[in-house]
Amino acid sequence: MKLSFRWYGESDPIPLQYIRQIPGMRSVVSAVYDVKPGEVWPEASLARLKEQCEENGLVFDVVESIPVSEDIKLGTDKRAAHLDAYCENIRRCAKYGVKCVTYNFMPVFDWTRTQLDRVAPDGSTSLVMYWDQLRGLDPLTDDIHLPGWDASYTRDEVRGLIRAYGELGEDGLWKNIEVFLKKVIPVAEECGVTMALHPDDPPYPIFGLPRVVTCEANIDRYLSIVDSPANSLCLCTGSLGCTKSNDVAAMVRKYASMGRIGFMHMRNVRVLEDGSFEESGHLSACGDLDMSEIVRALVECGFDGYVRPDHGRMIWGETGKAGYGLYDRALGAAYINGLFEAWEKAVRRA
């Protein structure tokens, strides 16, 4: 596996030099963050990212994300132009050494949480989603600002989008996924780039918006639309793990053995009785996922893609971007290294 770490570019309070000091760290996961979805990334920005990483002994070879515009997801009259820009971005990323591009197909909102700084008994804070904080909210009538949601939409725009997705429905979303994949995957294949689809987080509809990248059956359907290793997954254990019906270790084994995992997001999560969930420390004992079984599945299937410690808690007084501090993600990286070393040795001995 190739160990990686997400870095938000020059605005990230964590210097690349610190990232480099994490044992085993190889790759930087980043993106051009100042260009709107549907537009083309300047080559100079990619060149700069590559250069900054190399100056610090790291490789810039994973992009998270090239965002899929709402126009592509909804199939509006701007779709064709946005798809051309998307393909051009893949070509440009490849030109600067990128091998894996993460993206998602979640309507309007990316991940959904109700609080980003929930204090645990040990004084650490983490991201949570509590149904009693969400229930009763209606984005069509209430002015909702959930943490992490794109603040660039006005309330009216959000309402317009929610209505449009309501009309589109799941079937319409699947049709637009097909148009996207049939256009984009051949370009990725040509450039030697693996497209890594991130699951919906959490993996069920929120506010009636269709969400389809949620479970094994739907992921099978997604991967079969274009049956190519370039059409792969960014398998996020914490996202799929917030539904008890997803057996994450079994899904990892299945898709790794098919060669369809390009990138692993590794974190743990605790699911509460009413379906609410709390992000926890990476260790198996801290949440509901058996992280060792997940790594075992990867190792036994010969996985050689990218892995990154996903969201960490805020610990030791660190402040910064929720989920993306240095300390707990570095602890996560050390833990992931340990699990891989142990399972790789066990498999070699067997």
Active site residues: 198, 236, 265, 310-311, 324
Q: Residue 286 phi/psi, 5° resolution?
A: -85, -15
Whose CA is closest to 250, among 301, 200, 199?
301
Contact with ligand DNO (CB under 6 A) among 113, 198, 211, 296:
198
Q: How near is the Cβ of 110 to ligand DNO at its closest, in Å?
A: 4
Between 2 and 329, CB nearer to ligand DNO: 329
Point out which span in 97-105, 175-183, 205-213, 292-300 binds ligand DNO (CB under 6 A): 97-105
Contact with ligand DNO (CB under 6 A) among 45, 102, 231, 237:
102
Q: What is the dihedral of CA 339, 267, 231, 184, to 10 degrees?
A: -140
Q: Point out which residues pair with 28 in neighbouring strands.
A: 5, 60
Q: Which positions from 56 to 85 touch ligand DNO by CB under 6 A, shown as an x/- string?
A: --------xx--------------------
Q: Residue 245: enclosing H or E segment and its boundaries? A: none
Contact with ligand DNO (CB under 6 A) among 110, 288, 300, 344:
110
Q: Which positions from 132 to 171 touch ligand DNO by CB under 6 A, shown as an x/- string?
A: ----------------------------------------
Q: How near is the Cβ of 178 to ligand DNO at its closest, in Å?
A: 19
Residue 111 binds ligand DNO (CB under 6 A): yes
SS3 label, residue 119:
strand
Q: How near is the Cβ of 196 to ligand DNO at its closest, in Å?
A: 9
Question: What residue number has its CB nearest to ligand DNO?
Answer: 65
Contact indicator for 234, 262 with CB cutoff of 8 Å: yes
CA atoms within 13 Å, Cβ hemisphere of 288: 22
Residue 12 binds ligand DNO (CB under 6 A): no
Q: Residue 281 phi/psi, 5° resolution?
A: -60, 160
CB neighbour list of residue 233: distance below 8 Å, 6 or more residues apart: 196, 197, 199, 219, 223, 255, 260, 261, 262, 263
Alpha-carbon span 178 to 144, nearest angstrom? 31
DSSP 11: G
* Count of residues interacting with ligand DNO (CB under 6 A): 12
Residue 325 binds ligand DNO (CB under 6 A): no
Contact residues toward ligand DNO (CB under 6 A) are 64-65, 102-104, 110-111, 198, 236, 265, 311, 323
